């Protein structure tokens, strides 16, 4: 820019009618009446329903490559802001991934395929049908995201919310035991199956490689360490789990404005909502500068304490400690949360399976 600052600009194509995956199978993308031309933000932040040529349903999401061919970059550098004009579209060379990008994408997919767990959403494949990036093809979860479910059914029982959290903690334990940090734990990355089982998505077998290859939009669900640009750790995941729990239990924002020396907040509720929605660098800067803080007092309210085990609430509060060493592990929080299920006479499916397997071994 003329003032010396840098900016990220991109041009993406319209959403196609169908894509072809690495196996040659076609997936027809759902379209809604009145859909406008897709933008990078709209494609990054949503999943699109798709119907396979064999009749299977899936959801697809778009990942944009960080690096594009210099010729393409030169053409769009001086382009005006706004929708891509027909003149610019015709002048822009067709972008195809380099051999290095293709190889890196396939390595990431293969690593992802090695992560198999009942509480992790499975990536079925990928497609390079759209210029400038890659479409990831995921298993279909008819229940939508956990955020959608909780706000769609406002009277969900506390024990049910606790069970959803246990599913997410089970998946996090699986990843953390393998030295993998999720890096994007939030209610939007927890999908609900028809049987009520929650499954984490948004994870990667190699987060560093994924961030180097693709542009990864950072949301407001980050730890203080992540706000500085550092790669996430399992401790960061637990902080983000705490943020998600605040919203799940209270249906209120997990962040709030800090208070100035004069006793006034740094902004209004509307401004906080806009900042959280934007995420990215604006939110990271606000967190690093101390203008926003965790809304942890919500967990100490009587509505939460009366409906949930005090031990569970205290373990969630510890997840939000500014000192990473004081945060409990996913397995520790899971064991504490199981107490609430046991008091209600319930168990997790995987625990029942473990007992059943143990009994079979004893009989043998």
SS3 239: helix
What pLDDT is recorded for position 241?
98
How much is the mean pLDDT over the chain? 83
Q: What is the pLDDT of residue 41?
A: 45
Residue 179 DSSP one-character state: T
Report the share of the chain in percent with pLDDT over 90: 43
Give pLDDT, residue 356.
42
**Of residues 45 and 240, more confidently modeled:** 240
d(CA 259, CA 233): 29
**H or E segment to which residue 171 belongs:** helix 158-177
Whether the pLDDT of residue 307 is over 70: the answer is: yes
- Helix 310-319 crosses helix 234-250 at what angle (to 10 degrees)? 130
Q: Which of 172-176, 213-217, 296-300 has the lowest mean pLDDT?
A: 213-217
Contacts of 207 (CB under 8 A, 6+ apart): 180, 181, 183, 231, 232
Is the pLDDT at 146 greater than 50, yes or no?
A: yes
Phi, psi (deg, nearest 5) at residue 321: -65, 140
Q: Running DSSP on this structure, what letter comes out for residue 123?
A: E
Q: Taking 50 as the threshold, does the pLDDT of residue 47 lie above it?
A: yes
d(CA 286, CA 229): 13
Question: What pLDDT does residue 282 have?
Answer: 95
Residue 356 burial by Cβ neighbours in a 10 Å radius (0-12, 13-18, 19+): exposed
Check whether 55 has a pLDDT greater than 50.
yes
Question: Which residues, including other chains, have CB under 8 Å from residue 346's CB and lie 6 or more apart?
Answer: 159, 163
In angstroms, the CA 247 to CA 154 distance is 12
| CA dist 85 → 6, 11, 70, 78, 80 (Å) | 23, 11, 20, 13, 9
Largest CA distance in the chain: 77
Tell me which of 298 and 338 has the higher pLDDT: 298
C-alpha closest to that of 322 among 296, 283, 359 = 296
φ/ψ bin of 162: left (φ > 0), alpha (ψ from -120 to 50), beta (otherwise): alpha
Q: pLDDT tens across 101-142, in order?
A: 889 889 999 998 899 999 999 989 898 877 778 888 999 998
> CA dihedral defined by 222, 227, 232, 238, rounded to 10 degrees?
-40
Rounded Cα distance between 190 and 17, Å, is: 27
Interatomic CA distance for residues 207 and 146, integer angstroms: 23
Q: Which residue matches tokens 């299977």?
A: 56
Q: What is the pLDDT of residue 330?
A: 97
Domains and CATH numbers, the chain: 18-95+123-139 (no CATH), 146-254+295-356 (1.10.510.10)
């Amino acid at each position: 820019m003329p003032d010396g600052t840098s900016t990220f600009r991109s041009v993406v194509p319209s959403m196609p009618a169908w894509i072809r995956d690495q196996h040659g199978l076609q997936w027809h993308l759902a379209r809604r009446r009145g859909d406008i031309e897709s933008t990078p933000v709209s494609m990054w932040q949503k999943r699109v329903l798709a119907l396979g040529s064999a009749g299977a349903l899936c959801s697809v999401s778009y990942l944009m490559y960080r690096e594009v061919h210099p010729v393409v970059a030169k053409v769009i550098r001086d382009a005006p802001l706004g929708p891509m004009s027909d003149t610019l579209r015709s002048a822009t060379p067709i972008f195809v991934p380099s051999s290095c990008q293709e190889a890196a994408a396939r390595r990431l997919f293969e690593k992802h395929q090695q992560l198999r767990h009942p509480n992790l959403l499975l990536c079925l494949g990928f497609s390079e049908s759209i210029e400038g990036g890659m479409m990831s093809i995921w298993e279909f979860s008819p229940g939508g995201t956990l955020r959608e479910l909780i706000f769609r059914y406002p009277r969900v029982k506390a024990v049910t919310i606790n069970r959803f959290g246990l599913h997410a903690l089970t998946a996090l334990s699986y990843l953390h035991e393998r030295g993998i940090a999720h890096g994007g734990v939030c209610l939007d990355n927890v999908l609900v199956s028809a049987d009520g089982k929650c499954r984490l998505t948004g994870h990667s077998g190699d987060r560093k490689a994924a961030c180097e290859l693709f542009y990864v939009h950072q949301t407001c669900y980050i730890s203080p360490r992540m706000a500085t640009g550092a790669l996430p750790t399992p401790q960061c995941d637990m902080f983000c789990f705490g943020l998600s729990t605040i919203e799940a239990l209270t249906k209120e924002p997990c962040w709030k404005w800090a208070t100035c020396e004069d006793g006034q907040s740094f902004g209004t509720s509307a401004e906080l909502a806009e900042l959280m929605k934007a995420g990215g660098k604006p939110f990271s800067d606000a967190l690093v500068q101390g203008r926003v803080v965790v809304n942890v007092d919500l967990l100490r309210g009587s509505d939460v304490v009366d409906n949930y085990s005090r031990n569970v609430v205290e373990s969630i509060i510890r997840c939000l400690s500014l000192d990473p060493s004081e945060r409990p592990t996913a397995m520790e929080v899971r064991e504490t949360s199981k107490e609430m299920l046991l008091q209600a006479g319930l168990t997790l499916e995987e625990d029942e399976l473990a007992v059943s397997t143990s009994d079979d071994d004893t009989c043998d």
